[in-house]
C-alpha cells in the first residue's frame, strides 16, 4: 500500500504542470473553435433529435439552443484564454472544465458519443488541484505528481478499456473480423485505399492493435527511456490512423504529453528564443515572462503556494 501511495504521489516538477496546463487550455480554444464543432451545430438542430444522457437527466440539462451553444463555446474560449495567464488556476481551470464538459454533452446528446474524449475530463478536473504553478518553478511537488499521474492513468486506461470494449461488444472474434475494412470503406483516405486490396494488412493490424491496447499499462513499468519510446510509438499509431481514416483522438493526444519532461522542452525553447534577435530585444525591455527564479518574486513560487 505504501508503494502504491508513493507511486501515486511521486513528486514531479511543478513547472511540468504549468506547461501541460498551457497546452491543455490552448487545446481547448482550438478544439471548440475548429476541431469539435458538432455541439455548436446542435444549436441549429430540432430538439426532436435530443436524447439526454444520464448526466443530463441527473442535472436536468436542456436541449441545445443557439443561445446555449454560443454561451458554452465562448465561455470555453474566454475562460481558457484567461487560464493561460496562470492566474486563479482553480477558479478559471474549473470554469473551463464545466464549460468544456457541458459543450461536449451538447455534442453527444444527439445520438452519437465520441468515445475518445472522456479521459480529457480527468485532466480538466485535476490539473487545477495543483494550484499556482509557474513555468520557472524549479521545485517538485506531490500535488503536481498526483495530477500528472492521474492524467497518465486516464490516458492509458483509454487504451486498455477500449480493448476491453472490443472484447465486450465485438467478442474474441473481433481480431478476425472486418472492422478495419469497414472503417476504411466508410472513411478511408486515398492513402489507405490500397490496404483494401491487400486485406491481410488490416487483419494483422487488428491483432497488433488488440495486443498493444491490452498491454498498454506496462508503460508504467518501463524505464524512462523506453517510456518515451512507447509514447512516441502511440503518437505514430495515431498519426497513421489519421492518415488512413481522418480520425484523431485530439484531447487524448494532449493527455499523452503528461508522460514527457515538458518543462525541459519549454526551457530549451525559451533558451533558443532568448538567442534570437527578437528574443534579446524582448528581454532587454523587461518583457520576458516567467524568468524569475522560484522562491523570490512570483506568487507561484511562495513555498507551498496553492498546493493542497
Partner 1 sequence: MNAGEGQSGVLRLSRLGRAWRAGLVVALTALFCAGSLVGNDHWWPFSPWRMFATSQAATGSVWSTGIEVRTADDPNTWVPARLTPENVGVNRAEVEGRIPQIQADPARLGTLAASHARLRPGSAAWLGLRVVRHKIIVVDREPTGEVETDVLAEWSAP
Q: Identify residues 128-147 at the interface with partner 1 (CB under 8 A).
A: 129, 139-144, 146
The grid coordinates of residue 68 equal 446555449
Among 16, 73, 117, 134, contact with partner 1 (rule: CB under 8 A): 117
Burial 53-72 (b: 16+ CB within 10 A, else e): eeebeeeebebbeeebbeeb
Nearer to partner 1, 197 or 284 (CB): 197
Residues between 37 and 56 with contacts to partner 1, criterion CB under 8 A: 37-38, 40-42, 44-46, 48-49, 53-55
Q: How far is the CB of 90 from partner 1 (least distance, A)?
A: 12
Does 91 help bind partner 1 (rule: CB under 8 A)? no
Does 84 help bind partner 1 (rule: CB under 8 A)? no
User: Got the DSSP string for 28-54?
Assistant: HHHIIIII--HHHHHTTS-GGG----H
Tell me the window of 19-27, 86-94, 115-123, 280-288 that interacts with partner 1 (CB under 8 A): 115-123
Does 169 help bind partner 1 (rule: CB under 8 A)? yes
Q: How far is the CB of 88 from partner 1 (least distance, A)?
A: 18
d(CA 301, CA 294): 5
**Site pattern 52..81 for partner 1 (x: CB under 8 A):** -xxx--------------------------
Residues between 2 and 41 with contacts to partner 1, criterion CB under 8 A: 5, 8-9, 11, 14, 37-38, 40-41
Residues between 231 and 270 with contacts to partner 1, criterion CB under 8 A: 249
Among 23, 61, 81, 181, contact with partner 1 (rule: CB under 8 A): 181
Nearer to partner 1, 84 or 181 (CB): 181
Among 185, 218, 232, 236, contact with partner 1 (rule: CB under 8 A): 185
d(CA 123, CA 17): 11
Nearer to partner 1, 75 or 131 (CB): 131
Residues between 92 and 111 with contacts to partner 1, criterion CB under 8 A: 101, 104-105, 108, 110-111
- Cell 528574443 found at: 279
The answer to whether 134 touches 18, Cβ cutoff 8 Å, is yes
The grid coordinates of residue 191 equal 492513402
Tell me the window of 19-27, 150-158, 230-238, 257-265 that interacts with partner 1 (CB under 8 A): 150-158
Does 112 help bind partner 1 (rule: CB under 8 A)? yes
User: Got the DSSP string for 243-269?
Assistant: HHH----HHHHHHHGGGS-HHHHHHHH
* Angle (deg, nearest 10), helices 277-284 and 262-275: 90
Residues between 212 and 231 with contacts to partner 1, criterion CB under 8 A: none
User: Got the DSSP string for 5-33?
Assistant: HHHHT--EEHHHHHHHHHHHHHHHHHIII
Q: How far is the CB of 287 from partner 1 (least distance, A)?
A: 29
Tell me the window of 89-97, 154-162, 266-274, 279-287 that interacts with partner 1 (CB under 8 A): 154-162
Does 178 help bind partner 1 (rule: CB under 8 A)? yes
- Cell 485535476 found at: 126
d(CA 20, CA 127): 9
Tell me the window of 17-25, 87-95, 181-189, 219-227 that interacts with partner 1 (CB under 8 A): 181-189
Q: How many CB atoms lie within 10 A of CB 200?
A: 8
The answer to whether 24 touches 83, Cβ cutoff 8 Å, is no
Q: Which helix (H) or strand (E) holds 172?
A: none
Amino acid at each position: 500500500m505504501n508503494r502504491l501511495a508513493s507511486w501515486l504521489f511521486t513528486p514531479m516538477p511543478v513547472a511540468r504542470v504549468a506547461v501541460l496546463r498551457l497546452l491543455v487550455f490552448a487545446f481547448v480554444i482550438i478544439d471548440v473553435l475548429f476541431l469539435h464543432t458538432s455541439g455548436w451545430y446542435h444549436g441549429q438542430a430540432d430538439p426532436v433529435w435530443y436524447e439526454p444522457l444520464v448526466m443530463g437527466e441527473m442535472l436536468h440539462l436542456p436541449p441545445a439552443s443557439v443561445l446555449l451553444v454560443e454561451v458554452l463555446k465562448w465561455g470555453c474560449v474566454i475562460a481558457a484564454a484567461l487560464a493561460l495567464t496562470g492566474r486563479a488556476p482553480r477558479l478559471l481551470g474549473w470554469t473551463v472544465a464545466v464549460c468544456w464538459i457541458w459543450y461536449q454533452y451538447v455534442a453527444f446528446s444527439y445520438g452519437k458519443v465520441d468515445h475518445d474524449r472522456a479521459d480529457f475530463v480527468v485532466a480538466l478536473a485535476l490539473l487545477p488541484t495543483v494550484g499556482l504553478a509557474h513555468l520557472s518553478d524549479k521545485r517538485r511537488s506531490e500535488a503536481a505528481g498526483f495530477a500528472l499521474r492521474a492524467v497518465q492513468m486516464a490516458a492509458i486506461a483509454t487504451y486498455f478499456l477500449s480493448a476491453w470494449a472490443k472484447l465486450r461488444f465485438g467478442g474474441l472474434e473481433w481480431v478476425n473480423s472486418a472492422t478495419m475494412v469497414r472503417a476504411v470503406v466508410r472513411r478511408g483516405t486515398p492513402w489507405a485505399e490500397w490496404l483494401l486490396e491487400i486485406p491481410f494488412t488490416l487483419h494483422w493490424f487488428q491483432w497488433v492493435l488488440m495486443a498493444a491496447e491490452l498491454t498498454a499499462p506496462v508503460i508504467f513499468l518501463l524505464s524512462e527511456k523506453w517510456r518515451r519510446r512507447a509514447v512516441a510509438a502511440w503518437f505514430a499509431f495515431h498519426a497513421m490512423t489519421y492518415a488512413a481514416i481522418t480520425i484523431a483522438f485530439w484531447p487524448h493526444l494532449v493527455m499523452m504529453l503528461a508522460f514527457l519532461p515538458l518543462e525541459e522542452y519549454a526551457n530549451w525553447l525559451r533558451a533558443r528564443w532568448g538567442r534570437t534577435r527578437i528574443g534579446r530585444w524582448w528581454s532587454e525591455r523587461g518583457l520576458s515572462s516567467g524568468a524569475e527564479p522560484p522562491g523570490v518574486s512570483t506568487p507561484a513560487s511562495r513555498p507551498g503556494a496553492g498546493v493542497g
